[in-house]
Structure 1
Amino acid sequence: MNRRQRLTSAAAAVAVTAGLGFAAAPTAWSHGYIGGSSSQLIARAAMPGNTGLGAVQYEPQSIEGPKGFPAQGPADGTLASGGNTRFSELDQQSSTRWVKNQVTTDQVKVSWNYTAFHATTKWEYYITKQGWNQNAPLSRSSLELIETVPGNGAAPVQGVQHTLDIPADRTGYHVIYAVWVVDNTSNAFYNAIDVNIQ
C-alpha cells in the first residue's frame, strides 16, 4: 500500500468512526433549556454559581422525561430532574440550596436555548403557590399553571421570548417550572427555575 492509499484509508476510518459517534450519542448535543440569550431567567441546571450538579452540568439541555404533565410525567419529588435519575441532584430542595434569579417586576421574559429544534405541541409554565413549603420536595400540589404558549406542531425559533405574568401575591423565593412538550415523541423537557421575587 503506497502513502496515498494509506492516507485515504485513514481518512475513511476517521469519517466512519466520527459518523458512528454521532449516531450513538445524540443526547449530548440535542434539545434545550431555559437560558437563551434573550432570556431574563436561567434554569437551575445552567445557573452560574450552582454547585454539586453532577452530570447535568455538562448537558442542561437533556432534562427529558415522559410528557403529559401534570396528569402524567415525572413523579412528585423528581420534577426538577424530569424523572431522570442521572440528574437527581436537581431534585434537592431547600430554601438555600439554589442560586436565585432576581425578579423585580410582575412580568418576566424567558427564552429557551435550543440545541435541537423539535416540533412542539406547547410550552407550559407553572409557579409555586403562595405559602409553598420551600424545604419539601417539589410536587404538583405546590404548583399552579400561569402560562401556556401553543407550538402548533412547528419547530421552535431560537431567541423567541415567552412572557410570564408573576401573580401579584408572590414574593420571596419561588420556583417556576417550565415544560416544553415535544409534538412527535412521547417526551417533554422540564426545567426548574429558582427566583427571588422582590
Structure 2
Amino acid sequence: MPKRAGVTALGLGLVAGATLLGTPTASSHGYTDTPISRQKLCANKTVSNCGQIQWEPQSAEGLKGFPAAGPADGRICAAGNAQFAELDDPRGGTWPATRVNSGQSYAFRWQFTANHSTTDFKYYVTRNGWDPTKPLTRAALDPQPFLTVAYNGARPAMTTVHQGAMPSGKTGRHMILAVWTVNDTPMAFYSCSDVQF
C-alpha cells in the first residue's frame, strides 16, 4: 500500500473510532433523498424537533454487518447513535411517506459528502403487518434485501442512483432501510425512508 493510502486508511480508522465512542464527526458521509429519508426530512425542515441530525443528515453511521451485526433493534434508523435518536422515534406512525408502487421500477438516490470505497448497498423493506408506531427492529423487516448493488471496492459518484424494482406484494405504509457498507472501514451508513404503497 502506498504511504498516502496508508495515511488515508489510518485517518478513516480514527474517524470510525471517534464515531464508535459517540463523538460526532464533521467528515461524514451520505443519506438517501429518494425516497426521502427521515434525516433529509429533518434537514430540509419538513419535520421539526429533530435534534442534531438536522444539521448533519449524512452522519447516521454505525457498525457494518447488518443484519447479523450493526445497530441494536430500535436504534437502526439512527445507526445506533444516541445523538440522532429522533430518527428512531416512530412519531406515532406520522412521518411523511413517499408514495410508491409495489413491483414497479424506482430510482433510489443517495447524496454523499464523502464517497468511500464501497462493498455494496442493500435495501430492505418492512414485512406486511409491520407496526409503524414502533421503532424499527430486524424482526419487522423482510429477512433478505429486495435490492443489492455490489461495488466491489469502487467509489460511488457524489450523487448516485440505483435503478431497481420496489418489492412486490406490499400495500399500505412501510419503511425502506438502505444500508451503505463501506469497504475499508468497520462502518456502514443507515437511512430509513417511510413509504406508502
Contact 1:113–1:159 (CA<8 Å) still a contact in 2? yes
Which runs of 5 or more structure 2 residues have no equivalent in the other structure?
1-14
- 2:109 matches 1:107: no
Contact 2:114–2:158 (CA<8 Å) still a contact in 1? no
SS at match of 2:54: helix
Q: Which of 42, 45, 65 lines up with 2:39 in the alignment? A: 45
Contact 1:95–1:173 (CA<8 Å) still a contact in 2? no
Write the deviation string for residues 63-120 of structure 1: whole angstroms up to 9, x where unpaired: 0000010000000000010000110011111553311112146232111111001100
Separation (CA, whole Å) in 2 of partners of 1:177 and 1:79: 9
Identity %: 43
* Equivalent residue number for residue 75 of structure 1: 72
Give the TM-score taking structure 1 as reference length: 0.80
Matches within 5 A, 1:1-198: 27-35=25-33, 40-47=34-41, 48=44, 49-104=46-101, 106-144=104-142, 145-197=145-197
Amino acid of the structure 2 residue aligned with 1:44? R
1:55 Cα deviation from its structure 2 partner: 0.2
Contact 1:34–1:110 (CA<8 Å) still a contact in 2? yes
Separation (CA, whole Å) in 1 of partners of 2:99 and 2:47: 15
My pick for the range that moved more, 120-129 or 135-144, is: 135-144
Write the deviation string for residues 44-70 of structure 1: whole angstroms up to 9, x where unpaired: 111241221110000000000000100
Q: Which has the larger radius of gyration?
A: 1
Contact 2:76–2:136 (CA<8 Å) still a contact in 1? yes
Give the TM-score taking structure 2 as reference length: 0.80
Separation (CA, whole Å) in 2 of partners of 1:63 and 1:187: 10
- The root-mean-square deviation of aligned C-alpha atoms, in Å, is 2.1
Amino acid of the structure 1 residue aligned with 2:155? A
Contact 2:113–2:158 (CA<8 Å) still a contact in 1? no
SS at match of 2:93: coil
Write the deviation string for residues 125-176 of structure 1: whole angstroms up to 9, x where unpaired: 0000111122222100111221110011011113331123222321111100
Amino acid of the structure 2 residue aligned with 1:178? A
Amino acid of the structure 2 residue aligned with 1:127? V
